[in-house]
Amino acid sequence: MIIGITSDHRGFEIKKELIKELKNKNIEIKDNGCFTPGSCDYSLYGISLAEEVAKKNITYGIAICGTGIGMSIACNKVKGIRAGLCSESFSAKMTRKHNNANVLCLGARVTGIELAKDIVKTFIEEDFEGGRHQKRIDMLEEK
């Protein structure tokens, strides 16, 4: 499993913490920026990460901005991407089980670091249920 992770300036600190946490668990990480805390655009970083997921260069993406909303809008623009914005662990579990989400979006101004770690753990450990949920996803892919 390779996890790609990106943020804008608002998510920069939490991204660093999550990278540390995932590396401690021996998970391979690809840091897609930003690389400095200065102001930058979630739109560019979100789309760039989502393209890596869509090309299957990475297994899942994690995209963090202030609210997580900008990143989720940006990532969901890319064909084949199902980005779920989660501020608690139950949604992280369900967005894998039912939506087969391949990008997790987090809001650094909404979710504290310890909860963010649990959300990430839940997201990467949960599997897609398939079945009736696959049919619904297929309808979206046809659009």
The reply on whether position 74 binds ligand RB5 by CB under 6 A is no
Q: What is the DSSP letter of 80?
A: T
The reply on whether position 44 binds ligand RB5 by CB under 6 A is no
Which single residue is written with the structure tokens 């779920």? Answer: 84
Residue 9 annotated among the catalytic residues of the structure: no
Active-site residue, selected from the candidate residues 34, 40, 65, 75: 65
Residue 133 annotated among the catalytic residues of the structure: no
Pairing of strands 2-7, 60-65: parallel
The reply on whether position 8 binds ligand RB5 by CB under 6 A is yes
The reply on whether position 15 binds ligand RB5 by CB under 6 A is no
- Among the listed ranges 64-72, 81-89, 118-126, 127-135, the one in contact with ligand RB5 (CB under 6 A) is 64-72
The reply on whether position 82 binds ligand RB5 by CB under 6 A is no
CA angle 25–116–90, rounded 5-degree value: 105
Sign of CA dihedral 129, 131, 132, 137: positive
The reply on whether position 34 binds ligand RB5 by CB under 6 A is no
The reply on whether position 76 binds ligand RB5 by CB under 6 A is no
Identity of residue 106: L
Which residues contribute to the site for ligand RB5 (CB under 6 A)? 8, 10, 42, 65-67, 69-70
Catalytic positions are 65, 98
